[in-house]
Amino acid sequence: MALWITDECINCDVCEPECPNGAISMGPEIYVIDPRRCTECVGHFDEPQCVQLCPVGCIPVSPSQVETKAQLLERSHRLQAEACPPGWTQDVQAAVSGPSADAAAAHPVIGSPPGPPGLSPAGEPAPART
């Protein structure tokens, strides 16, 4: 985590719902960022969403907690795997960290062969395009 919220925060509530990792929450007096969940938005957006949206510019970079993009991306993958329903976690972890083609081919949904033209994989008529 290289970002933190200073005491200039006015508790405007703008940043909290926009964080893709649920890293922002209300602290004792102002909003705070959980360093275990902040990825600087790596894995979701090109720029930190909270920094982009904060009306008073109170989310600076902490020079003492610099992390590489690879470290942040690894955290993003871990958080997304943890958020998956039971049974999907290992598939997703394998897909993001291992030979993705093998993991995808073995997945019960991703690995399903496509159905015939005009039919769903289950053989039912595909919904009409609008």
Contact set for ligand SF4, span 50-69 (CB under 6 A): 50, 53-54, 56, 58-59
Q: Identify the DSSP state of 36.
A: T
Q: Which of these segments, 4-12, 79-87, 98-106, 120-128, binds ligand SF4 (CB under 6 A)? A: 4-12
Q: Which is nearer to ligand SF4, 54 or 103 (CB)?
A: 54
All residues at 6 or more sequence positions from 51 whose CB lies less than 8 Å from its CB, including other chains: 3, 59
Q: Whole-number minimum distance, CB 57 to ligand SF4, in Å? A: 8
All residues at 6 or more sequence positions from 97 whose CB lies less than 8 Å from its CB, including other chains: 77
- What is d(CA 27, CA 91) in angstroms, rounded to the nearest whole number? 35
Q: Whole-number minimum distance, CB 66 to ligand SF4, in Å? A: 14
Binding mask 15-34 for ligand SF4 (x = CB under 6 A): x---xxx-xx------x-x-
Q: Which helix (H) or strand (E) holds 103?
A: helix 100-106
